[in-house]
């Protein structure tokens, strides 16, 4: 199987930083974005928007708005959720 034809069939590319993507854009997190995301999630927790199973959608949106204030990149609930989950595994 030709690897180049397989990659184009799967819509897999490599970002300029070498991260594999699958048709979705990679979000480059700055320290300010990360800090603002966490501050938003702390505020969401204080407002009761976190359950035993995680944050409610409105809670995640606090993190999205915080991060979005520091970038022109598209910040989504899924990207914030992934960043938060990865922080827990790596931190």
The pLDDT tens digits for 20-69 are 344 567 899 999 999 999 999 999 999 999 999 899 999 999 999 999 99
Q: Which two tokens stand for residue 25?
A: 């854009």
Distances (CA, A) of 14 to 9, 19, 42: 14, 6, 34
Instruction: Give SS3 for 51.
Output: strand
Q: Residue 50: in which H helix or E strand, if any?
A: strand 50-51
pLDDT interval class at 15 (50, 70, 90):
very low
The Cα–Cα gap between 62 and 43 comes to 7
């Amino acid at each position: 199987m030709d690897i180049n034809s397989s990659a184009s069939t799967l819509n897999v590319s490599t970002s300029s930083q070498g991260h594999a993507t699958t048709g979705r854009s990679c979000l480059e997190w700055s320290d300010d974005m990360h800090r603002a995301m966490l501050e938003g999630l702390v505020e969401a927790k204080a407002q009761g928007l976190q359950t035993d199973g995680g944050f409610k959608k409105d809670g995640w949106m606090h993190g999205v708005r915080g991060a979005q204030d520091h970038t022109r990149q598209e910040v989504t609930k899924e990207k914030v959720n992934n960043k938060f989950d990865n922080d827990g595994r790596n931190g």
